Chain A
Amino acid sequence: MTADDHPVARPRVGTVLFGAGAFAGGLALLLLAWHEKGDTAFSPANERFAPIVVTGLWTVLSALYLVGQLTRFVRGVAAAKTAAVPAETDDAADDPAEVHWRAPLLMVVALVAYVLLLEPVGFLITTFAFYVAAAAILGSRVWWRELVIGAAMSAVIYFSFTYLLELTLPPGVLPL
């Protein structure tokens, strides 16, 4: 197994936290798989073998990843103290880990609200509201365009799914 080799040399706590979460999750799933095994004999031909092998493999791989990231982090911090870390260059502008969290967090909140309200309020209203909100979060300032698209799209999807494809979408509060 090769050591992990992220190209950016700056110390990054995010990868360490991600590795720690992956390892903790793997360990919990491994314990769950072991608990489910109970008194069943451990045989490669029975149904308890694969969950234990796969969760075990995940735990080992995530441990390796975590150790790799921790090592990089410690080295990065040490190098930063001696000013050996390269200053941010143009390349850093394309760093895939550079994410501004406000918009994604707002979008997750909008998605969760959409799913929670989908059945009680109904598909037409929630889809329209979600579409407009999502477009605004994604930076749209042409509000009339989004209102028109949102209304048209939710109506077309609802009526085509319900009447053409005979698939159920929740009507909610509207008398449909």
Chain B
Amino acid sequence: MANLLGGFASVLTPENLLFAVIGVTVGTFVGILPGIGPALTIALLFPVANSLVDSNGQSGVVGSLIMFAGIYSGAMYGGSTTSILLNTPGESNSVVTAIEGHQMALRGRARAALASAAIGSFVAGTLSTLALTFFAEPLAALAINFRHSDFFALGVLATVSVTALVGRSLLRGMMSLTLGLLIGVIGIDTLTGKPRLSLQEFVWADANHTGVSTFMQAGIGATLVIVGLFAFGETLYVCGRLKKLPDKIAPMDAKDGEPEFAWMTKKDWRRSWLPWLRGTALGFPFGAMPAGGAEIPTFLSYTLEKARSKFRGQFGTGAIEGVAGPEAANNAAFAGVLVPLLTLGIPTSATAAIILASFKSFDVPVGIQLFDHGGAVVWALIASLYVGNIILLILNLPLIRIWVLVLRIPRPALYSAILVFAVVGVYANANLAFPLFLAIGIGVLAVFMRMYDFPISPVILGVIIGPLLEENFRKTMQETNNSYAIFVDRPLTVSLLALAVVSLILPNLPKIIAFLRGRRADKLSFADED
């Protein structure tokens, strides 16, 4: 408790409070905007954060991480606004909210849907942060017994399970993951200092001519890959499909006969509070699992609420439970995702992966070392989640009309600005033209990936978890004199690897069962991150 109070003391300084406000405001903004998500935003803000850290040291680290966490949680809130008013999720985790939320909006109940989503997000965000407060440190302490083989197996489980769930084809998902792993091995090997796949054999790439080889030896950072895949890739793809963009925003105003400020009625409150709690109970544990993410709990919450509701007949035409439950699950999962990230250094979403990259960039350890040596940072981060939740509630209820204006930003202006910020973000990191060409190349590749239904987020996970996997695998091999026996002898390693195999098979079960019955079915899949 003393640690948490210390965290609050740190967050409630004017400077850090400002970072929290900036973070959640930017997060809500990008959550609302289709085409730009929290992962890309954090990647683009890396140069700014590095500048802050260079000039302010430890306080810059705390401020930057508070801002990043605010962006992540703010995007969860903002995504629901776009889902409800535009029927297009502003970020991937709000897919389910669109089902009932937009129907409510079309029936003149947009405010009730927005309020249920915002209050549910607040309840879930606060309760799940409370769970994070109590569980994170003991879990990190448990991980002290983990060996390199266990961390390797855990990394395999996280990457494989996320990959198996996003996208409709396991083959395409695994190709995306392998592409990320491939990008991750490029550069100087951290254990021996030798360059790998860095083009140093080629004259044109020599440092004296273009700086390409020097850049490649430093490795292709996650920031560049995220900017390429999400900023350039998304914008180029949108360029080719301009006529297919949704542009009809549902009205915010109440229908005739209803009071002007028709937020939630007593009946809406009665129908929402239990789904909020059930959504939280689903979202936090699922978010904390190695498969991570908010997609599964939001879908489960929707199914659960539909099955339990007395108003089942309203589902599909605007049932408030279908907004309340999934939005709570969505926000609870965010705090859950922080559990493996902070305690084990395992990211289970693209946004978590880029936050992990920022920890590394700022030399902040993860796992039990984070609580032992980086206590001030982590408790300030956790305290900022409580504060951020309150700010977000204010931003998303009384100020909702301002956010609706964001949806009216003309698409040409929006996407052109995204491209400019992307170029600035990459250039400011390296002061070199080559990374920009590389990012544009990755963007073109991402267009084909979108066209041919390849999921994007496994690439990011591969880039960031790949080096961790390799390091732990090689250290295991060094410890065991190149014996693979530990992967079948050590119970924890074997269990984690077995779970990885199960997670590969599980989403394909409907397809396998349908095949055995002589029918066709798609594999279970969830939306990719943006």
Contact = CB atoms under 8 A, between A and B. Distances in A.
A51 interface: yes
Nearest to B184: A54
A116 B14 CA distance: 42
B412 A45 contact: no
Interface string B402-423: 0000000011110111011101
* Chain B interface, DSSP helix/strand/loop, else mixed: helix
Measured as residues with beta carbon below 8 angstroms from the partner, the interface class of chain B is 35 or more
* Chain A interface, DSSP helix/strand/loop, else mixed: helix
B306 interface: no
A140 B412 contact: yes
B413 A145 contact: yes
A3 interface: yes
Contacts of A7: 168
Given A36-B196, A58-B182, A135 B416 contact: yes
A148 B207 CA distance: 40
B185 A51 contact: yes
A116 B436 CA distance: 10
A101 B508 contact: no
Interface string B458-493: 000000001000100110011000100000000000
B175 A58 contact: yes
A33 B236 CA distance: 31
Nearest to A1: B171
Contact of B433 (A65, A97, A119, A127): A119
Pairs of residues from A and B, 9 with the lowest C-beta to C-beta distance, nearest first: A99-B240, A140-B412, A138-B412, A134-B416, A45-B477, A47-B189, A103-B239, A135-B412, A97-B451
27 contacts: A1-B171, A1-B174, A2-B169, A6-B452, A14-B448, A46-B192, A54-B182, A57-B178, A58-B178, A61-B171, A62-B175, A65-B175, A96-B453, A97-B452, A103-B240, A104-B447, A107-B235, A112-B440, A115-B423, A115-B437, A118-B427, A118-B433, A134-B420, A146-B412, A161-B424, A167-B51, A167-B428
Interface of B: 47-48, 51, 55, 168-172, 174-175, 178-179, 181-182, 185, 189, 191-192, 194, 196-197, 201, 232, 235-242, 244, 410-413, 415-417, 419-421, 423-424, 427-428, 431, 433, 436-437, 440, 444, 447-448, 450-453, 466, 470, 473-474, 477-478, 482, 508, 511, 522-523
Interface of A: 1-7, 14-15, 18, 22, 29, 32-33, 35-36, 43-51, 54-55, 57-58, 61-62, 64-65, 68, 93-94, 96-101, 103-104, 106-108, 111-112, 114-116, 118-119, 127, 130-131, 134-140, 142, 145-146, 149, 153-154, 157, 161, 165-169
Given A68-B171, A130-B420, 16 more contacts: A1-B171, A55-B197, A61-B178, A99-B237, A100-B241, A104-B237, A111-B440, A116-B433, A130-B423, A131-B420, A134-B416, A138-B242, A139-B411, A146-B416, A153-B420, A157-B421
